[in-house]
């Protein structure tokens, strides 16, 4: 991405203060293993036994780079139980966990009062969400709906010409039933629900949309798509020159307009109405001030190129994902959406949150059939945080709160 000439020159001058040009070139020059041998690789990488764990720890300890604080043994979790979850395992990173709640949720799948675990090291975060949860819960809670769900994989096929690519798409779409049957051979839980084509010159993309039940599903849809693609390559009357199981059109682990306009995982909407007296009492603001700040925030978000406009969805989702064993990298596509606020005819504050969320299970949702419930809990928690942060910004309390709760080392 481009940057200003002034910024570039200033940065280069700062580098030159410490290194001359020749030293800088030497420092940045690739170091061939033939001239500078590589250190030994970490041993027993796929050995999930206790002895494999000890070998890796001893290797890093002898190299002087073992983080001892991560290596506290826990009797409840054995290395073998982590197979498929992590490689080169050496220990656990401890993250403080706070709790937010109770948060009253009125959802299609999540009903009741919930205490939400938050894993974070950001001072003021739990306090902010806790305040928002109290404010919305006093006013009847958050109404939230999981309205759609699917996850995609988008293989790409290249051809000699745009004509061949177009004819290939026509043939592929006529085989949807076969694709669905092939999917059933790879999973008992997932199902193929649709195929959407995209043609770009001589490259054909097939966006396969799957339902994955309670699973996050990235691996499930990859295996199913691989099987379909191999059948396509074998049976298609128009052979592709090359194909890739993912052509980067699915939006996987990226903030995209695809996730914003549709969804990747589960799409959830949420709303809450707060009495104006409670806005004054607990949020130290007013419906009018919060609505006006929301308008200004929208202008700023548009100018920044933000995909959606919101305060900080990622904070709640990261804190919950870390606690519940979710893939934190999915924050990229989960943290897109819009927060809006308005003053209703009674002078109370109405706030609404539509968003694409890849929120999938746990948080008291163990067992089958709870993925949508978890998604609604995530959305309700996000909305509580939006209420609190917008109130803080509208009232001028944002910096003061962070100063009050910041870590003593800062």
CATH code for position 181: 3.30.70.420
302 is a domain residue: yes
Q: Which of 49-58, 95-104, 392-401 has the lowest mean pLDDT?
A: 392-401
Q: Which two tokens stand for residue 117?
A: 């675990």
Query: Considering the domain boundaries, does residue 79 fall inside one?
Result: yes
The answer as to whether 35 is a domain residue is: no
Q: Of 220, 266, 252, 255, whose CA–CA distance to 359 is shortest? A: 266
Residue ending a domain, among 203, 218, 244, is: 244
Q: Do 280 and 381 fall into the same domain?
A: yes
Q: Does residue 357 register a pLDDT over 50? A: no
Shared-domain flag, residues 286 and 165: no
Residues 6+ apart with CB under 8 A from 382: 270, 313, 316, 317, 353, 355, 357
Structure pTM?
0.81
Do residue 134 and residue 164 come from a single domain? no
Same domain, 178 and 218: yes
pLDDT at 410: 45
Domain count along the chain: 3
Q: Which domain holds residue 216?
A: 155-244
pLDDT at residue 353 above 70?
A: no
SS (H, E, C) the chain: CCCCHHHHHHHHHHHHHHCCHHHHHHHHCCCCCCCCCCCCCCCCCCCCCHHHHHHHHHHHHHCCCCCHHHCCCCCCCCHHHHCCCCCCCCCCCCCCEEEEEEEEEEECCCEEEEEEEEECCCCCHHHHHHHHHHHHHHCCCEEEEEEEEEEEECCEEECCCHHHHHHHHHHHHCCHHHHHHHHHCCCCCCEEEEEEEEEECCEEEEEEEEECCCCCCHHHHHHHHHHHHHHHHHHCCCCCCEEECCCCCCCCCCCCHHHHHCCCEEEEEEEEEECHHHHHHHHCCCHHHHHHHHHHHHHHHHHHCCCEECCCHHHHHHHHHHHHCCCHHHHHHHCEEECEEEECCCCCEEEEEEEEECCCCCCCCCCCCCHHHHHHHHHHHHHHHHHHHHHHHHHCCHHHHHHHHCCCCC
Name the pLDDT band for 197 (thresholds 50, 70, 90). very high
132 and 199 in one domain?
Answer: no
pLDDT above 70 covers what percent of the chain? 86
Do 285 and 144 reside in the same domain of the chain?
yes
Mean pLDDT of the chain: 84
Same domain, 127 and 268: yes
Claim to verify: residue 89 and residue 114 sit in the same structural domain = no
Q: Would you say residue 31 lies in a domain?
A: no
Question: Does 371 lie in the same domain as 313?
Answer: yes
Residue 297 lies in a domain: yes
pLDDT at residue 94, as a whole number? 81
Q: Is residue 10 part of a domain?
A: no
- Mean of the pLDDT values across residues 111-130? 88
Q: Which of 36-45, 149-158, 282-291, 329-338 has the lowest mean pLDDT?
A: 36-45
User: What's the rounded mean pLDDT across residues 369-398?
Assistant: 84
Residue 308's CATH number:
3.90.770.10
Residues acting as catalytic residues: 122, 327, 402
Torsion of CA 92, 93, 96, 102, to 10 degrees: -60
**Average pLDDT, integer, range 339-344:** 92
Least confident of 75-89, 104-118, 281-295, 360-374: 360-374
Same domain for 215 and 127? no
Residue 195 lies in a domain: yes
Do the domain assignments include residue 80? yes
144, 382 Cβ separation under 8 angstroms: no
The per-residue pLDDT for range 295-336, each reduced to its tens digit, is 999 999 999 999 989 988 999 999 988 887 778 888 888 888
In whole angstroms, how large is the CA radius of gyration of the chain? 25
Q: Is pLDDT of 355 > 50?
A: no
User: Residues 35-76: pLDDT tens digits?
Assistant: 778 678 778 877 888 888 888 888 888 877 777 766 776 656
């Amino acid at each position: 991405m481009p940057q200003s000439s002034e910024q570039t020159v200033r940065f280069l001058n700062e580098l030159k203060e410490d290194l001359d040009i020749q030293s800088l070139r030497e420092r940045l020059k690739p170091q061939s293993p033939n001239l500078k041998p590589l250190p030994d690789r970490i041993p027993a990488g796929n050995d999930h036994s206790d002895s494999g764990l000890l070998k890796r720890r001893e290797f890093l300890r002898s190299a002087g780079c073992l983080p001892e604080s991560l290596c506290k043994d826990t009797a409840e979790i054995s290395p073998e139980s982590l197979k498929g979850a992590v490689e080169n395992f050496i220990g656990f990173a401890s993250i403080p966990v706070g709790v937010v709640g109770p948060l009253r949720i009125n959802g299609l799948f999540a009903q009741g009062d919930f205490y939400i675990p938050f894993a974070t090291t950001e001072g003021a975060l739990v306090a902010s969400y806790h305040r928002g949860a109290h404010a919305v819960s006093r006013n009847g809670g958050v109404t939230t709906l999981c309205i759609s769900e699917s996850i995609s994989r988008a293989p790409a096929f290249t051809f000699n010409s745009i004509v061949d690519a177009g004819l290939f798409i026509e043939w592929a779409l006529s085989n949807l039933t076969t694709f669905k049957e092939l999917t059933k051979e790879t999973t008992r839980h997932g199902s193929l629900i649709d195929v959407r084509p995209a043609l770009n010159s001589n490259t054909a993309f097939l966006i396969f949309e799957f339902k994955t039940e309670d699973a996050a599903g990235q691996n499930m849809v990859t295996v199913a798509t691989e099987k379909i693609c191999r059948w396509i390559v074998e049976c298609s009357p128009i052979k592709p020159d090359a194909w890739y199981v993912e052509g980067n059109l699915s939006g996987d682990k990226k903030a995209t307009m695809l996730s914003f306009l549709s969804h990747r995982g589960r799409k959830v909407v949420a709303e809450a109405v707060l009495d104006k007296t409670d806005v004054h009492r607990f949020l130290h603001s007013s419906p009018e001030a919060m609505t006006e700040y929301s308008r200004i925030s929208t202008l700023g978000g548009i100018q920044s190129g933000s995909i959606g406009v919101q305060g900080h969805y990622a904070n709640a989702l990261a804190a919950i994902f870390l606690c519940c064993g979710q893939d934190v990298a999915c924050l990229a596509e989960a943290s897109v959406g819009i927060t809006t606020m308005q003053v209703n005819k009674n002078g109370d504050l109405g706030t609404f949150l539509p968003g694409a969320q890849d929120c999938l299970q746990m948080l008291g949702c163990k067992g089958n059939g709870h993925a949508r419930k978890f998604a609604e809990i995530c959305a309700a928690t996000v909305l509580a945080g939006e209420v609190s942060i917008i109130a803080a910004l509208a009232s001028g309390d944002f910096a003061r709160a962070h100063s009050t709760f910041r870590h003593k080392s800062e």
